[in-house]
A and B are shown apart, each in its own frame.
Chain A
């Protein structure tokens, strides 16, 4: 096979390689059986070169047109292309955990059994090489049929285009039918032209919100060429203006998202503390139990994180509700009307639950997998993207809130709860079994805490300390919103979230938290019953 000179650059080589691939794959196969496999030579070069040398070898591999080259480059990028220390044979590792790793032969892709990790030598790469590999692979992918895959490939090329790849990309661009791919490729090319000092490229980039376009423009605005610098600065100013609006929208989203977490954590407490008047310091641990239920579900259903997560919603509710009932029956019912003792006793329960998890499961955090459909973000435009996991949690919080409102307003349980809350003696006189209502209310509040845990497992650590991080915030939200008022909890949670996120960029995370606390203290001084105080005689009791 003719070797192309490396000087022609990466992309020329890719294209040539692709031609070879389509024309002579059968030829390659017959050659491999008689002569020694050229792949082995290529991989040996790859293994022995230093980081810079590897780039040239990657070019050679691409140019060789070997149909295995794509898998080689992919497994190299994943760090799974390795070499057996004694025989010097190359393998691709399928699973790299534990003592023995299953591998396939890198030349034949046939199963090669399990190999001890001691016997393997990884072919090292670093970030720079990984980027180079990504753009090499992207050029392969620009030719596939799926427009979505082409778009992903085109995005990988933004900021990675060099002189040698301009021409082939331009050629692919001329054949491209999908408009998104066209725009992305044009952007990628324009950034390269701008780097070369082309003033006209500024026009293409003007108004583009992509951060790499902005980076290229601000680099150009520092250029020695006054026309270029002026044009670039002008384009930057107009972009900045659009960005400001986007940033405001982003901050609002951040605030609502943080707020929804607060609402979720606090809403169970709004029932137990707000409606029943029980100060439950173990509320955070009930949240933790919900999160651990998600983890346990994922252990039971390996490989199906999405399904496990959905099933965790009822399971988490049940587990936390049962734990709540146990706490109510064993501790709280004996301390009715003694808030200080309740506080101390439930604090003890919270410590016991934490240590129980540490001893029984592990003091280490557990991995909860985020399902595919919850990872990444929803792109509104190039500058504004909403992270999906938080978007789901926001929606989930609103759903839980709506469901809870329905229960309290539309069901018999809700009616009885409200009756017992307003006047216990009178409710009992009317034939309501107050004890049963107490248990059910506490179970409901605890179950909702479990739901919060399921949601939080997607945002933060699942570990024994999970609950502690949310207990103070939860009480803060309930007190601020007005004890005994679910609407108050919703409004208080969301507004505290937004206030916090608005303050954070200029005050810093530590100070923002302090300022929010100071604000609440002042507010409670002025209005001790919170945002939405309960009115009427019930409030006096």
Chain B
């Protein structure tokens, strides 16, 4: 019996482990856990991602990513000699339920950290709860900015880490002079497009050369809009579409583009919400050359990335599974949190919050991500062109990493604000003109 058990345990564990992990590490991991006091409680990691409802399509993958990362970490001996225990809840794509589930995680389960949320509206719903109960939230998705909370760490891109560099690329490298800003009708595209309009105007693009178009969620009939884009693009100036169209609506949008013969060489579309996962629902052969701007692509040629992908293949048991940018953001966020806890020597929220600022961990694109005082991280910006296998090929990247900017420099009311959560300032919206930590200005911007 006793001799059979370890090997059975080993077999069941190693089936799920990455190929890169040596057995010795495994053995070490088990023995250190055994050495530490068995009575010690595990460290609880809350996972707040929708597993049912409309957002399950995007969020359920992130839940699996977190489970995989936690499993890997436990195999390496956990954290501070304690095991990590995932606590998964399902907020069911229901925004008010996100707040309830966050409360459940913090008050009842007493988790030490939460990784979660996808949509901005769900984050806004969770925000007051996390602040009230002094939790830690790692938010892994690109978002519109104009927010900074003491309890939230934004590991996805702010607009200056995605939208602005993408427009720069089109303007300087491709020579685009005419712009279509197409988006889904909600807060992220509207704020991003306001920032972009201001940015384009500052770069001398006239109003005639900008067309703004909003569509409802899940829009499936793109005939008219694509035809309008074609017309707009036949004015003799190089035209590009900047798309903040969300999730599901992209498939019919791209299909219509392909069917109406909008070629990437004539009118390229650069998207901020289309990644490998969205493309896995379409035949990408007619879309080759259209662009996306992210901080990570699955195709990035780098051993750390290949290791991550292989681990993901093993974990999902599917060699066609894809990885994407928010998954990398969780990878970075999780490692930053581990590092901060090790640095602080405890999982106490206040100490981890202080310890994490300045922490650097490797990202999957061959560089390092650093947590900035405004709770945003440094990221490289990559522009990729869609390939026929549903992947992106990187055609351009920023020469160095870009630090996330909580408050946009291109919006009235927001450009005077900075965020710095280090002592002694400890303020998310410090107005450098008035010289005070003013909540007033921030609220006006956020509620617009």
Contacts and interface: CB of A to CB of B under 8 A. Distances in A.
B235 A215 contact: yes
A462 interface: yes
A365 B223 contact: no
A251 B224 contact: yes
B128 interface: no
A137 B325 CA distance: 35
B214 A257 contact: no
A468 B218 CA distance: 10
A244 to B, nearest CB: 11
B277 interface: yes
B185 A510 contact: yes
Interface string A107-131: 0000000000110011011111011
A406 B395 CA distance: 57
Given A118-B306, A222-B236, A254-B224, A376 B214 contact: no
A369 B390 CA distance: 13
B27 interface: no
A55 to B, nearest CB: 15
Contact of A509 (B219, B277, B310): B219
Nearest to B234: A211
Interface in A198-223: 211-212, 214-219, 222
A79 interface: yes
B260 to A, nearest CB: 6
Contacts of B319: 97-99
Nearest to A216: B236
A130 B252 contact: no
A375 B174 contact: no
Given A218-B236, A463-B248, A509-B215, A364 B259 contact: no
B265 to A, nearest CB: 4
Contacts of A505: 224, 228
B389 to A, nearest CB: 5
B251 A365 contact: yes
B120 interface: no
A367 B261 CA distance: 21
Most buried by B among A219, A222, A460: A460
Given A127-B268, A469-B218, A79 B387 contact: yes
A469 B220 contact: yes
Interface stretch (B53-61, B143-151, B152-160): B53-61
A464 B57 CA distance: 9
A517 to B, nearest CB: 12
- Contact size range, A: 35 or more
Contacts of A211: 230, 233-234
Contact of A355 (B52, B221, B265, B394): B52
Interface string B377-418: 000000001011101011110000000000000000000000
A459 B255 CA distance: 8
A508 B184 CA distance: 12
Interface string A460-472: 1111110011000
Contacts of B389: 96-97
B428 interface: no
B214 A509 contact: yes
B385 A365 contact: no
Nearest to A250: B227
18 contacts: A96-B389, A99-B319, A118-B303, A121-B301, A126-B395, A130-B288, A211-B234, A217-B236, A364-B277, A365-B57, A365-B280, A367-B282, A367-B283, A375-B259, A387-B223, A459-B220, A461-B281, A501-B223
Interface of B: 51-52, 54, 56-57, 60-61, 174, 185, 213-216, 218-221, 223-225, 227-228, 230, 233-237, 248, 251-252, 255-256, 258-261, 264-266, 268, 277, 280-283, 286, 288-289, 301, 303, 306, 310, 313, 319-320, 385, 387-389, 391, 393-396
